[in-house]
Amino acid sequence: MPLRTSVGIVGAGPAGLLLAQLLHRAGVDAVVLEARNRDYVEHRQRAGLLEQGTVDVLRSAGAAARLDREGLVHEGIELRFDRRSHRVDFPSLADGRRVTVYAQTEIVKDLIALRLEAGAPLLFEAVAQEIVDIDTERPVIRYFHDDAERTLECDFVVACDGFHGIGRQTVPEDALTTYSREYPFAWLGILADVPPSCEELIYARHERGFALHSMRSEHVSRLYLQVAPDDRVENWPDERIWEELELRFAVRGDWKLHRGPITEKGITPMRGFVAEPMRHGRLFLAGDAAHIVPPTGAKGLNLAAADVTLLARALGDWYAHADEAGLDAYSERALRRVWRAQHFSNWMTTMLHPDPREDAFSARLHLAQLEYVAASVAGSTMLAENYTGLPME
């Protein structure tokens, strides 16, 4: 068991694993601690829509061989409202940028395989219990692994352990400012063993609620329905789900929704959250440990990738040149992108989701905004630029 490392990383999700891979390529050693077992981590279902910049980072990290073979490149999305359809073309509006559908579970599998092939430390079922001495030059992670309490001394600690992890909880309360927003609806998400009914994602606003048609692969569809936050999966038998999806996606014309066996159902709450700053002493926060965005704009995974890209460069500069500028600027630079993504995600969410609390006047305002996006080059450009991802800083 390693007793000391340069960078201790808590969490083997996409953020922690990508950071470890980027550091490995830069010649900086790191140890990754993950509380769950490998099977759980490799099968944890999450969204998988990648901005152009995220794809580029994975390629630069040597982690895109399978992504380039199997990822589904999309050049636009379809907006549906008032039984009409409008396509937003990304390359023509966003300097040639596109997005790629590739499941997050597959990214995690690819990064785990690379780390294990390199013989680099990745400890599963290693439960971080405490991070101490973060205001010193030798912070320590105390963790439990193989039925024993252990310690890992580091130069730096990066918490990629999610919203409920110990990373953010380690920061003194008076040193952290948090912002949050709870949305008055949730998403019922399903996986279905049926080829997608569309070539690109469909975002639909209907008076009964929002719906999204996405995909995991050429043979598996991923679909979502807006539901109440306190709704239960048991209230949604398969037939009801398919009927509601057909109703919300309906357009004038002969488009048809393909049905198939539903293999997974789950309800996800909608919230926004930001913790500032994203650094305290030698402890850095990245990904969901620092921020949560509603999934409408597909920014969660991409923000995590942007965080660790900044951090990997900064740590590389520190080890190569004793240059602390990148580390000192990390929080400010990362938060600039985080708040841009929060704004875009909130804009997409409020425009596309009927709010059960809103009056008819507000509903008409959101429809007017959709009309503007569909009819205006400026409106479509704003959506395309943000959806495909602003350039990596």
Catalytic residue list:
74, 203, 295, 299, 387
Measured in degrees and rounded to the nearest 5, phi and psi for residue 271 equal -150, 160
| 3 state SS of 377 | helix
Alpha carbons within 13 angstroms on the beta-carbon side of residue 188 total: 24
Concatenated DSSP letters for 312-324? HHHHHHHHHH---
For the CA atoms of 53, 56, 61, 63, the dihedral, rounded to the nearest 10 degrees, stands at 110
State in Å, rounded, how far the first CA of the chain is from the last one.
36
Cβ–Cβ contacts within 10 Å for residue 172, how many?
Answer: 9
Residues near 55 by beta carbon (within 8 Å), at least 6 away in sequence: 64, 67, 71, 100
Alpha carbons within 13 angstroms on the beta-carbon side of residue 106 total: 20
Concatenated DSSP letters for 131-193? EE-TTSSS-EEEEEETTEEEEEEEEEEEE-S-TTSHHHHHS-GGG-EEEEEEEEEEEEEEEES
Residues near 206 by beta carbon (within 8 Å), at least 6 away in sequence: 81, 247, 248, 250, 354
* Interatomic CA distance for residues 157 and 337, integer angstroms: 22
Closest CA to 76 of 96, 46, 57: 96
Q: Please, is 392 exposed, middle or buried when counting C-beta atoms within 10 Å of its C-beta (0-12, 13-18, 19+)?
A: middle
Measured in degrees and rounded to the nearest 5, phi and psi for residue 213 equal -110, 115
8 within 8 A of 33, measured Cβ to Cβ: yes
Closest CA to 230 of 182, 282, 275, 288: 182
264 within 8 A of 190, measured Cβ to Cβ: yes
